[in-house]
Amino acid sequence: MRLMVLSNFRQILFVISLLSNFTFANEIDLIRYVDSKQHPDPKQSYFVDLLTLALEASKARYGDYKLQPVNIEMAQARTSMMLKRNELIDLTWRMTSQKLEQQLQVIYFPLLKGLMGYRIFIIRKDKQHLFNQNISLTDLQGIDLGQGHNWPDTDILIENGFKVVRGKDIFLITMLKKNRFNYFPRALHEPWLEIVDEKELTVEKNLLLQYPAPIYFFVNKQNKRLQQRLSYGLTQLLESGKFEQFFLNHKITSGILTKADINKRTIFTLQNPLLSEETKVLLTDERFWIKLQ
């Protein structure tokens, strides 16, 4: 009798397990993210495309999904606040900081291989003489630069002794043209599209700032399923080599080291005081970071 009860119990557990896996695999995940129509940014296609790849790579385990762009206009800090409140969106991507990782659930996978921490400058064409290849770090720190109000880069550069003029991100190009500051540090892949229609601006040709600055996907603290799904999907891409191929061939990042003439630039290495201990550990894994050579 006892053996029969035990056998029946095991059968029940097996059926429950099957039903659980069936439900888990057939649940449709809705992932909403900000997609500005008023200030569209073509560079954001990289993150949407990588997000799609990660979701596809996790489909066999986690089931189907639906990506839903949300047309709302808000600054990065506001986007993070909405995600923290679990309102309107389910995911964002941002350069990380200890504070942000405390507020939101982070997926520890550097989406851009650290590219955001390699900074070249947008300048006015008549200001190249300020940035000769032999300039000292002290002299460069004394030349005023522009950055966004709530950007982690702003705090990083201030901590490293730079003279920073803050502004709203959508107005920084205009501020540069109006001589509010003399250079606008941007990640390697960013300047080219941003000045395509700006005849009086150019990409500075001699210098580069470098500091560790990964961009991660972030979700709400309670959204463990999406956090686990993205971690799994991104890991699958990394281990299969598909992530490296994606980075090398995507229209936003393809050939960017050559285009920026990295080997001809004087590089100033800076510290990033905003990094968490978890991120510092990732810095030792070469698979996650771009190689300059």
In tens, the pLDDT along 142-166 reads 999 999 988 999 999 999 999 999 9
Q: How far is CA 157 from CA 154, 162, 184, 209, in A?
A: 5, 5, 12, 10
> What residue has token string 């190249």?
128
Domain spans in the chain, listed from the N-terminal domain onward: 2-112+215-257
Helical spans, DSSP H, in the chain: 2-26, 45-57, 59-62, 76-84, 98-103, 137-141, 152-159, 172-177, 191-194, 224-240, 242-249, 256-259, 277-282
Q: What is the pLDDT of residues 18-36, one digit of tens each?
A: 444 444 456 799 999 998 8
Q: Rounded distance, CA 119 to CA 201, Å?
A: 16
Q: What is the pLDDT of residues 168-193, one digit of tens each?
A: 988 999 999 999 999 999 999 999 88
- In the prediction, which pLDDT does 22 show? 44
- The answer to whether 208 touches 268, Cβ cutoff 8 Å, is yes
Mean per-residue pLDDT for 111-125?
97
Collapsed DSSP state (helix, strand, coil) of residue 161 = coil
Question: How does residue 12 score in pLDDT terms, banded at 50, 70 and 90?
Answer: very low
Q: What is the pLDDT of residues 48-70, one digit of tens each?
A: 999 999 999 999 999 999 999 99
Amino acid, res. 98? Q
Tell me yes or no: is domain 2-112+215-257 CATH 3.40.50.150. Answer: no
Amino acid, res. 90? D
**The whole model's pTM is what?**
0.86
Question: Taking all residues of the chain, what is their mean pLDDT, rounded to a whole number?
Answer: 90
